[in-house]
């Protein structure tokens, strides 16, 4: 039985995810972090429904919609026609800045639940634009009503909504999130270097991470309100890696359209060592957002499905800590990985 996945948001992340499913549908292993998670392979996942509100994508077949502007993710391979057509999604009064002036196609939360039921989706993966907090919560309610698990890749703090979290628990369904942590993105890289400094006895004083990228998600996150909310999630996640207070900032700084789906993260670290002599590091990381999400998405979907099907909801916390920047129970990233791997990576 394949894992039936529904997607909310057919943007760049969704584009690379859909291409990844095709790429790894046979024996291909290049670039795949975990071929087997919870006894499941990438080819065990299948997209059965997709929702967006951008009229340029709604009504298109998924293989066409993922390459439709403003998406800029690389075309790694051709995707054959399938049965999934992008349907109108839920939108509250939190339309992302990059869609202002674009005609929207919306439907009710109840209709989205109906579509999820009809498609027999097991899990709804939320990949809508950041800043649409109320819409993200409504997708979670729609998933719950349809008996689906919910994975929140956006920085909206859905799991911090106690009522929603309790309702998922009551419904014996997994609620997983918040804010996907890329395989080798700015956050984990920042955490890793801080962890190394702490382990080597450096007294960390300050650090920053300034991101410049293209793609509509970056365009959204230079909106002042969204930028500050996203910066808060990233900064809190990074700060948790050091066992004392120090000054740090992590967030998106600018949008450069011709960077496409790529991102450059600039890091600076300052600390002190023997006789208070200084240590500083300047380094940058170049990555591609959609591809950087792929492996972690593959892993958390397979693990979430397994714990849902065998009623092991008690391990949802480990999935969240491994795959997300703002989990309910934060852990150091290497501890989170060790626990996740012990439970799910075979």
Residue of 37, 38, 194, 293 that binds ligand NAD (CB under 6 A): 293
Q: For 72, list phi and psi in degrees, rounded to 5.
A: -130, 5
Range 128-157, binding ligand NAD (CB under 6 A)? 128-130, 132, 135, 153-155
Dig out the tokens for 213 from the structure: 């990228």
Closer to ligand NAD by Cβ: residue 129 or 248: 129
Closest by Cα among 141, 111, 107, 110 to 124: 141
Dig out the tokens for 262 from the structure: 């790529």
Closer to ligand NAD by Cβ: residue 192 or 313: 192
User: What separation, in Å, do the N-terminal and C-terminal C-alpha atoms of the chain show?
Assistant: 19
For 52-106, the DSSP string reads E-BTTTTTSBHHHHTTSTT------S-----S-BEEEB---S---GGGTTS-B-B
Smallest gap from residue 145 Cβ to ligand NAD (A): 16
Distance CA 84, CA 183 (A): 28
The residues, any chain, with a CB within 8 Å of residue 288's CB and separated by 6 or more, are 73, 74, 261, 262, 263
Q: Is 89 in the site for ligand NAD (CB under 6 A)?
A: yes
Q: Is 292 in the site for ligand NAD (CB under 6 A)?
A: yes
Residue of minimal CB distance from ligand NAD? Answer: 11
Q: Is 8 in the site for ligand NAD (CB under 6 A)?
A: yes
Residue of 96, 174, 214, 251 that binds ligand NAD (CB under 6 A): 96
Q: Is 180 in the site for ligand NAD (CB under 6 A)?
A: yes
Closest by Cα among 89, 124, 133, 93 to 108: 89
Smallest gap from residue 8 Cβ to ligand NAD (A): 5
Site track for ligand NAD across 25-64, x = CB under 6 A:
--------------------------xxxx----------
Q: Which residues bind ligand NAD (CB under 6 A)?
A: 8-14, 51-54, 89-91, 96, 99, 127-130, 132, 135, 153-155, 179-180, 182, 185, 215-217, 289-290, 292-293
């Amino acid at each position: 039985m394949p894992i039936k996945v529904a997607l909310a948001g057919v943007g760049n992340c969704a584009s690379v995810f859909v291409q990844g499913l095709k790429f790894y549908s046979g024996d291909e292993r290049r670039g795949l972090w975990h071929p087997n998670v919870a006894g499941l392979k990438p080819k065990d996942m299948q997209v059965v429904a997709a929702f967006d509100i951008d009229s340029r994508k709604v009504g298109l077949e998924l293989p066409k919609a993922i390459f439709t502007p403003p998406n800029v993710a690389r075309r790694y391979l051709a995707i054959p026609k399938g049965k999934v057509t992008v349907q109108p999604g839920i939108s509250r009064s939190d339309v992302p800045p990059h869609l202002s002036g674009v005609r929207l196609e919306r439907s009710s939360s109840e209709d989205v639940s109906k579509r999820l039921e009809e498609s027999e989706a097991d899990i709804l993966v939320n990949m809508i634009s950041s800043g649409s907090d109320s819409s993200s919560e409504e997708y979670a309610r729609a998933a719950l009503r349809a008996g689906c698990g919910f994975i929140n890749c956006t920085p909206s703090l859905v799991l911090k909504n106690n009522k929603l979290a309790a309702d998922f628990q009551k419904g014996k369904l997994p609620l997983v999130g918040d804010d996907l942590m890329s395989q080798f993105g700015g956050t984990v890289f920042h955490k890793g270097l801080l962890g190394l400094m702490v382990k080597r006895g450096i007294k960390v004083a300050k650090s920053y991470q300034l991101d410049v990228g293209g793609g509509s998600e970056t365009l959204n996150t230079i909106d002042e309100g969204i930028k500050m909310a996203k910066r808060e999630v990233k900064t809190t996640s990074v700060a948790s890696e050091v066992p004392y207070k120090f000054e740090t900032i992590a967030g998106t700084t600018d949008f450069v359209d011709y960077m496409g789906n790529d991102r450059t993260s600039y890091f600076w670290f300052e600390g002190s060592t023997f006789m208070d002599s200084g240590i500083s590091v300047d380094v940058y990381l170049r990555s591609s957002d959609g591809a950087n999400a792929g492996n972690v998405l593959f892993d958390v979907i397979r693990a979430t499905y397994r714990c849902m099907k065998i009623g092991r909801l008690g391990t949802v916390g480990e999935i969240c800590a491994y795959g997300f920047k703002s989990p309910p129970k934060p852990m150091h990233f290497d501890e989170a990985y060790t626990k996740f791997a012990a439970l799910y990576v075979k």
